[in-house]
Structure 1
């Protein structure tokens, strides 16, 4: 079960900030890779598995992760579109959904 953490809008660069409390709990530490899985019109963000073929991005020092352009296009996201960030403690991941899609 996931809980809504926040509502925000996408930046021009596609960067989102992951909340520190859960980032640490989920193993998404700056300098490590996050795995981005596009499924059911959502992007699941979790610690990368070693042999995964999913999209991977580094977590920045400020706790941000870049959502690749191809995933944003797949979801129909443009800059300034609203999104929701959900916390899923059961699966140790964040779930990004678009409010208007």
Structure 2
């Protein structure tokens, strides 16, 4: 698998949390998608989106802003930066190493 091994354990935890709350989890590796809203929420495939390993934040910022403007339910794992669009969960690797 080309997925970052770090995400394997994270996906396991997310899957267990979904099951405990009676929810299903759809996992997709859509690296080239340009419209996550249409691919998932508009198509009724998903009620929300968890973005893991979606690529470079600065390259994806416009797509993330579009998700906010469309009212897409999403959360993003990645660097927590001031003024970024949407909800983000992240960690500070430098501080975590101390």
TM-score normalised by the shorter chain: which range applies? under 0.3
Considering fraction of residues, name the structure with more helix. 2
TM-score by length of 1: 0.22
Mark the structure with the bigger radius of gyration: 2
More strand by share: 1
**TM-score between both structures, scaled by the size of structure 2:** 0.22
Which structure has more RCO (C-alpha within 8 Å, separation ≥ 6)? Answer: 1
